[in-house]
Amino acid sequence: MTLSPSSLPDYPIVRLKPKTDSRKIRHGSPWVFDNEVVTDRRTKAMTPGTIALLQDAERRDMALVAVNPHSRIFARVLERDLTRPVDGAWIEAKLTRALAMRERLYKDPFYRLVHAEGDGLPGVVIDRFGDVAVVQPNAAWAEVLLDELAEALARVTGVTTILKNAGGRARGLEGLDDVDAVLLGDLPDAPVPVAMNGATYMADLTGGQKTGLFYDQRPNHAFAAGLAQGARVLDVFSHVGGFGLACLGEGAESVLCVDGSEAALALAEEGAARSGFGARLETRKGDAFEVLAALAEEGAKFDMVICDPPAFAPSKPALEAGLRAYERIARLAAALVEEGGYLGLCSCSHAADLSKFRGASLRGIGRAGRSAQLLYTGFAGPDHPMLPQLAESGYLKALMFRL
């Protein structure tokens, strides 16, 4: 869509290089990299978070974008309708649309409300915990418009507390600070209980990992739990008991949660106690690789072993090392699975696509001297919608094997 200059607000212009293929952007790709745009003294001097007009090399208007000259992602597409200014009303409309879908999906207000590019708010993650929302503004434009974002979020959802979570690798890549803040209301003085998959999870919204809970694994937790009746389960990289508590909720005989964080394991224990099955949960703090090896030396066996590690391959340069780590985890975990038992392996590394992750997992299973049936391939839940033109938005993979 091209408008006459007089009908456009006074946006600065960012232009694609002549050899940049504009079709991918016109067809929905949301990122423009620094080697795809004309950069000069003017564009390099733009304040991070500036809203600009993107043009192709022939000076045809394409979209409104958020610019960050200090980032590898030089521009993020915000709006293709050039008659719609990016302001508080625009943010409110995006949040309203995101909320409408979540309210169809879930009867209770515990979910990911905004999944960045997947919901048309590039770089913005918002997880909702009842009356509390945790915002991760992982792009410079969202940091600039953070007050407008918080105001719109309160109007649309009615939440009474909004927290800014400034942790994570993405903000560093954007040149943003790592300072958390309370944007509305009061800082919660205790973990928030969240009911999911037949269990109660305790979400630490101020001191936990990410925003406090991993909603993305909800459907994969449910699938594993459906196989866990009467089973002895080992949940490795358990965080606050993700897979383990769901399995207990479906009648697992026992669960051993392994994690490197004593605080996370304490929350898993509290969640199990609140759920009424605290006596069937044990925890073990330690490095996952070392604990898996130690369990093998002890002769331990389980009916189900599930490993949900952090991203071993967070970027392309880390891919090969990450795949080796996934292979090693699969080998160590497979050795602990009873004949006919189940092995669940997960990856949240967007750099390791499904094929590469599955291959690494199968190599590890083979190195353990086991053979496998692949029963299930899972992804993030529907509150984490994928933008098809952005592979990174579909980062989560979960595989369930029978050995």
Look-up of token digits 């869509």: 1
Phi/psi for 143 (5° steps) reads: -65, -40
For 161, list phi and psi in degrees, rounded to 5.
-135, 130
Sheet with 132-137, strands from edge to edge, namely 110-115, 124-129, 132-137, 161-164, 181-184
Contacts of 303 (CB under 8 A, 6+ apart): 228, 230, 231, 232, 233, 337, 338, 341, 342
Q: Which of 247, 257, 346, 348 is catalytic?
A: 348
Q: How many residues does the chain have?
A: 403
The alpha-helical segments, DSSP class H, found in 158-256 are 169-173, 218-226, 242-249
* Annotation marks residue 257 as catalytic: no
Decide: 153 and 95 in contact? Cβ < 8 Å.
yes
DSSP sequence for 58-76: T--EEEEEEE-TTSSEEEE
Paired tokens of 183: 């944007």
Neighbours of 236 (CB within 10 A): 27
Q: Which residues pair with 345 in a beta bridge?
A: 307, 399
First to last CA, the chain: 55
Q: Are 244 and 257 in contact (CB under 8 A)?
A: yes
Residues tagged active-site: 348
